[in-house]
Amino acid sequence: MKRMYEGKAKIVYQSDDPETVHIEYKDEATAGNGAMRGVIARKGPMNRDITVQLMRVVEAAGVPTHLLTEVGDRFILARKLRMIPLEVVVRNRIAGSLARRLGLAEGAPLPEPIVEFYYKSDELGDPLIVPAHAPLLGVDLETVRALEELALRVNAALAPFLLDRGIVLVDFKLEFGRDAEGTIRLGDEISPDTCRFWDAATNEKLDKDRFRRGLGGEAEAYAEVLRRIAAPRPGA
Ligand code: UDP
């Protein structure tokens, strides 16, 4: 397979069909735009499995995704997308950069979910933008509105699904692109690398903050998320 692009957590390969790609989920972990590096044992296969399960929940809620099928233990076959150069963050509780930026304590629930846009640029360190900046980056305002609506639909589907499994969806990052027909689809991943997942009973962190903050126990936390997501729904 021909490598098209290697990112920090995934590798994209051209497949035989020009409209599809294979995506490999790596065990490598980075934080702080590559300043921290490490390996989380079996992260790739776990993130692949978590992403597949959660993208199916998202699809069932009417949001198109790039997912086609699983391949092996750490790949998916996906539709090739032309990626929109924005990271879309949805927040349900105060945490991370929102807590730092506004000088607020982590943990408080927000009255309504907040959607934020960041310009995807390693050089600039993915700066926070306002929607009016997007046209300067080649993304029109109609697309920005569509992304906001899709991101809120993803949140409305995932938050209750996860809470049923004892996980609070604190915040998460999504990336979207357009397929050959021009349809906007969710791409990238939905995993503990890109979401904050807190245990609903104890507030224990079950996500990449364990790595970012040197707490240890990353592999165990990711395995616990997968175990809860893959288990049949309690009471069902
Ligand atoms: N996030 C991500 N990639 C990034 C930045 C953020 O996946 O490059 C995710 C992160 O895991 C969290 C959410 O987006 O679930 C919000 O992150 P935040 O802005 O609080 O940034 P951080 O605290 O990670 O600097």
Q: How many CA atoms lie within 13 A of 223 on its CB side?
A: 7
The answer to whether the CB of 195 is under 6 A from ligand 1 is yes
Give me the number of domains the chain comprises: 2
**Containing domain of residue 46, as a range?**
2-79
> Could you tell me if 7 and 46 lie in one domain?
yes
Q: Which amino acid is at 12?
A: V
Express each pLDDT in 10-25 by its tens digit: 999 999 999 999 999 9
> Could you tell me if 115 and 207 lie in one domain?
yes
- The Cα–Cα gap between 91 and 114 comes to 5
Of ligand 1's listed atoms, the one at least distance from the Cα of 172 is: 15
In a domain, 233, yes or no: no
> Could you tell me if 73 and 170 lie in one domain?
no
Identify the band that residue 30 occupies on the pLDDT scale cut at 50, 70 and 90.
Answer: very high
- The Cα–Cα gap between 43 and 223 comes to 9
> Could you tell me if 155 and 201 lie in one domain?
yes
Q: What is the pTM of this model?
A: 0.97
In a domain, 231, yes or no: no
In a domain, 9, yes or no: yes
Identify the band that residue 235 occupies on the pLDDT scale cut at 50, 70 and 90.
Answer: low
Identify the band that residue 234 occupies on the pLDDT scale cut at 50, 70 and 90.
Answer: low
> Could you tell me if 73 and 90 lie in one domain?
no
Identify the band that residue 236 occupies on the pLDDT scale cut at 50, 70 and 90.
Answer: low
The answer to whether the CB of 97 is under 6 A from ligand 1 is yes
- Dist. CA 130 → ligand 1 center (Å): 17
In a domain, 32, yes or no: yes
Express each pLDDT in 53-68 by its tens digit: 999 999 999 999 999 9
> What is the model's pLDDT at position 41?
98
> Could you tell me if 198 and 108 lie in one domain?
yes
pLDDT reading at 180 higher than 70: yes
> Could you tell me if 193 and 127 lie in one domain?
yes
Of 35, 62, 79, the last residue of a domain is 79
CATH number of the domain that residue 17 is part of: 3.30.200.20
Express each pLDDT in 183-204 by its tens digit: 999 999 999 999 999 999 999 9
Of ligand 1's listed atoms, the one at least distance from the Cα of 99 is: 20
> What is the model's pLDDT at position 65?
99
Among residues 45, 96, 58, 81, which one has the least CA distance to residue 198?
Answer: 96
> Could you tell me if 59 and 143 lie in one domain?
no
In a domain, 222, yes or no: no
> What is the model's pLDDT at position 63?
98
70-74 contacts, C-beta under 8 A, 24 or more apart: 71/22, 73/45, 73/48, 74/24, 74/25, 74/26, 74/44, 74/45, 74/48
The answer to whether the CB of 89 is under 6 A from ligand 1 is yes
> What is the model's pLDDT at position 137?
98
pLDDT reading at 227 higher than 70: yes
> Could you tell me if 102 and 198 lie in one domain?
yes
Tell me how far CA of residue 177 lies from CA of 91, 105, 186, in angstroms: 21, 34, 7
- The Cα–Cα gap between 163 and 177 comes to 28
- Dist. CA 29 → ligand 1 center (Å): 14
> Could you tell me if 173 and 136 lie in one domain?
yes
Identify the band that residue 102 occupies on the pLDDT scale cut at 50, 70 and 90.
Answer: very high
In a domain, 37, yes or no: yes
> Could you tell me if 87 and 73 lie in one domain?
no
Residue of 30, 88, 89 to mutate, ligand 1, most atoms within 8 A of C-beta? 89
Among residues 19, 17, 23, which one has the least CA distance to residue 4?
Answer: 23
The answer to whether the CB of 196 is under 6 A from ligand 1 is yes
The answer to whether the CB of 96 is under 6 A from ligand 1 is yes
> Could you tell me if 13 and 62 lie in one domain?
yes
In a domain, 229, yes or no: no
Element at 209 (helix H, strand E):
helix 209-212
The residue among 231 and 57 whose pLDDT is bigger is 57
CATH number of the domain that residue 108 is part of: 3.30.470.20
